[in-house]
Amino acid sequence: MLEWSRPWEMVLDTSEAPFWKWFTGGELNASHNCLDRHLARRGDKVAYHFVPEDEKEPLQSLTYRELYRRVNEFAVLLREFAGLRKGDRVTFHLPMTPELPISMLAAARLGVVHSEVFGGFSGQACGARIADSGSSVLVTLDGYARNGRTIDHKANADVAVETARKLGQEVRKVLVWRRYPGRDLSQAPMVEGRDYYVDELLPRFRGTQVPPEPVRSEDPLFLMYTSGTTGKPKGCQHSTGGYLAYVTGTSRYVLDLQEDDIYWCMADIGWITGHSYIVYGPLSLGATSVLYEGVPSYPDAARPWRLSESLGVTVFHTSPTAIRQLRKSLPEGPRGHNVRFRLLTTVGEPIEPEVWKWYFDVVGGGRAAITDTWWQTETGGFLCSTLPAVHPMKPGSAGPPLPGIFPVILDEDGREVPKGMGHAGNLCIRNPWPGVLQTIWGSPERYVAQYYHRYSKKPGSKDWRDWPYLTGDGAIEGADGYFRIIGRIDDVIKVAGHRLGAKELESACLTVPEVAEAAAVPLADEVKGRVPDIYVSLKPGSASSPEVVDKVRQSIVGLIGKIAAPQHVYVVEDMPKTRSGKIMRRVLAALSNGADCGDTSTLVNPEVVENIRRTVGTGASPKTGLSREAILQEVRDLD
Ligand code: WT7
């Protein structure tokens, strides 16, 4: 499915296990595969229908030829004006407009490694990622529409550059796309000699082209930062050849994208879902996709259905959170709209069977296939899913593994939990596959420790059988070989499908001078699945006040972004602790969710539990189909 400028010599090289190398000896270029090779046959085919949030603003349809032209011009700009070369990293902090895929493909064309930071992340979060990746160029946008308001996005760039500088990384140039060329949506001043409007530079490069730089299959295509057990986000490094092969193949077989499909993935390109299944997979197949700027519920809950009707969307991809939201705000769904979905897919969190049924019956009219795709930032593409119209569907279960993926459930001692036993264990993948991350940028030790150390049988082994990949998810394998994902086992909280580290939230709380200790736990939420609840205790001499609570909230939003905003911030006199000083997050999670705290006799301070219960009240009763027990299983105690 790909064009290689040089064929590979070896499919999988395990000589530096567990650093897998796919298709070694081969050379290719991702931008060539997504653009150039389609020009002859699909030059006039639409690659993206860009739909602005404001319904009065006209749709922009970009053909493959138009996309090719814009990517080339920006690639020349990146090379000539910004001085970027093969192997350099460039950070993007871009929201959902065509400039994001254009920037990604332009970087890929030069062999420059892109690192896109989700547009909703704060300037500080962006700055930390700039510093970690060693980017000296930041590409951003002046502003965009979100829920009817105009977001001043350029303001984040100034914070990002300042944060990166404090961390030792100088940003030479900030390239600012304007949402409306020539018109400014940002109040932030342009810094002389650092900040440049892309639309003012582009005329110099009008009509210019740059040949796609052939890169080695194992050369990195991009970094995608994600959260894990520790406070510091990790830059998952994805390869060019293996990754592109994997997302192209899975877009064909799981998304089933055909020549005449109109495909809409409602995710944000700032997450891995968008990289793999809005940009690289669909473009590599020459598909037509919808790119939507805004919030699905703007200006009202029928927007997705009007949009799907008017563009004739056939394949629709979204998250359980979005489906829950759509169902809650408009239970009749697209009824009354002439939608013609043939495939509906979901990703990012477990979907409750009743939500699944609504998606199937009401959105799909009982005719469209549903696929529940399970995977991760690290895995590059789908790992478990039914194939549409091939496998029977089972609500609440992601399904069987894809061809070439061999999952296994291991218990705490590394023994296999046979299928059909009905109990959960740690979901691992026995074998490497082409889409798997190559390493964590700058931290090869952390990569091994995080994903392979737990169950690696023989350190130093060159045999892939000795390196099961630890996903960080708990799961149950049914007798039919379908996998049901229970949730994370590593202090990751999935909020509306977004991945947040409990440690990251806690570190943000600890930057507030009054705060002595902090714990973040998941609280069940009817729409978002989970939201963070925060507990803090204060230093001696500091008293609880609305200001302290506000500072904690502001610090989380400032350091991470609005998506991390906690539901509650509880100031407690003391944390429930074990004799060894561990904070019992599990007790706090039970209190937040109105669940039984279990045995608290091992605490040094059991009396605090009742005090905290009084502060919290009876706790929210989870209205989701997910049990309280499932939430408590995701929570570990804090050393
Ligand atoms: C975590 C990965 C996968 C791309 C978007 C999220 C959870 C993902 C499912 C699913 C149940 C799911 C897992 C996984 N997850 N898909 N279909 N059913 N849970 O990528 O941000 O890296 O998150 O999302 O817990 O480990 P991510």
Q: Which residues pair with 89 in a beta bridge?
A: 113
**Distances in whole angstroms, Cα of residue 541 to Cα of each of 265, 515, 538, 552:** 51, 11, 8, 17
DSSP string, 572-620: -SS--BBTT--B-HHHHHHHHTT------TTBS-THHHHHHHHHHTT-P
Nearest CA owner, ligand 1 atom 24:
348
Contact status, residue 72 vs residue 190, Cβ threshold 8 Å: no
Ligand 1 center to 483 CA (angstroms) = 13
For residue 187, give the amino acid letter.
Answer: Q
- From CA 199, how far away is CA 181, in angstroms rounded? 6
Q: Is the Cβ atom of 350 under 6 angstroms away from ligand 1?
A: yes
Ligand 1 center to 384 CA (angstroms) = 11
- From CA 528, how far away is CA 526, in angstroms rounded? 6
Which residue is associated with the tokens 């590409």? 139
- From CA 369, how far away is CA 389, in angstroms rounded? 7
**pLDDT computed for residue 409 by the predictor:** 98
- Ligand 1: which atom is nearest the Cα of residue 499? 21
- Ligand 1: which atom is nearest the Cα of residue 375? 3
From 323, 485, 495, 631, mutation site for ligand 1 pocket: most ligand atoms within 8 A of C-beta: 485
Ligand 1 center to 322 CA (angstroms) = 14
Cis ω for the linkage preceding 418 (within 30 of 0): no
Contact status, residue 127 vs residue 164, Cβ threshold 8 Å: yes
Q: Is the Cβ atom of 376 under 6 angstroms away from ligand 1?
A: yes
**pLDDT computed for residue 598 by the predictor:** 86
Q: Is the Cβ atom of 318 under 6 angstroms away from ligand 1?
A: no
Which residue is associated with the tokens 């979100």? 146
Count CA atoms within 13 Å of residue 461 on its CB side.
13
From 469, 499, 631, 633, mutation site for ligand 1 pocket: most ligand atoms within 8 A of C-beta: 499
Between the two ends of the chain, the Cα-to-Cα distance in Å is 49
Ligand 1 center to 39 CA (angstroms) = 35
Q: What angle do CA 296, 115, 27 make, to 5 degrees?
A: 115
Ligand 1 center to 349 CA (angstroms) = 5
**Which residues, including other chains, have CB under 8 Å from residue 546's CB and lie 6 or more apart?**
none
Q: What is this structure's pTM? A: 0.96
Q: Is the Cβ atom of 349 under 6 angstroms away from ligand 1?
A: yes
Nearest CA owner, ligand 1 atom 17:
374
- Ligand 1: which atom is nearest the Cα of residue 267? 5
What is the SS3 assignment for 495? strand
Q: What angle do CA 500, 503, 509 make, to 5 degrees?
A: 100
Nearest CA owner, ligand 1 atom 11:
350
Q: Is the Cβ atom of 377 under 6 angstroms away from ligand 1?
A: yes
Pair type for strands 89-93 and 113-116: parallel
Sheet with 568-571: strands ordered across: 515-525, 529-538, 568-571
Backbone angles phi, psi at 479, to 5 degrees: -60, -25
From 223, 319, 349, 563, mutation site for ligand 1 pocket: most ligand atoms within 8 A of C-beta: 349
Ligand 1 center to 179 CA (angstroms) = 31
**pLDDT computed for residue 625 by the predictor:** 52
**The dihedral sign for the CA sequence 232, 410, 586, 624:** positive
Q: Is the Cβ atom of 321 under 6 angstroms away from ligand 1?
A: no
Q: Is the Cβ atom of 36 under 6 angstroms away from ligand 1?
A: no
What is the SS3 assignment for 559? helix
**pLDDT computed for residue 59 by the predictor:** 97
Q: Is the Cβ atom of 375 under 6 angstroms away from ligand 1?
A: yes
**pLDDT computed for residue 621 by the predictor:** 55
Using alpha carbons, select from 350, 295, 345 the residue that is nearest to residue 325.
Answer: 295
Ligand 1 center to 393 CA (angstroms) = 19
Ligand 1 center to 487 CA (angstroms) = 9
Ligand 1 center to 557 CA (angstroms) = 23
**pLDDT computed for residue 623 by the predictor:** 52
Nearest CA owner, ligand 1 atom 10:
374
**pLDDT computed for residue 633 by the predictor:** 84
Q: What is the mean pLDDT of each run of 10 residues along the chain (639 residues)?
A: 98 98 98 98 98 98 98 98 98 98 98 98 98 98 97 98 98 98 96 98 98 98 94 96 98 98 98 98 98 96 98 98 97 97 97 97 98 98 97 96 98 96 96 98 97 94 97 97 94 95 97 98 95 97 96 98 97 95 95 90 92 82 61 87
**pLDDT computed for residue 619 by the predictor:** 54
DSSP string, 212-242: PPPEETTSEEEEEEE--SSSS-EEEEEESHH
Contact status, residue 171 vs residue 132, Cβ threshold 8 Å: no
- Ligand 1: which atom is nearest the Cα of residue 276? 4
Ligand 1 center to 458 CA (angstroms) = 29
Q: Is the Cβ atom of 494 under 6 angstroms away from ligand 1?
A: yes
Ligand 1 center to 431 CA (angstroms) = 19
**pLDDT computed for residue 415 by the predictor:** 97
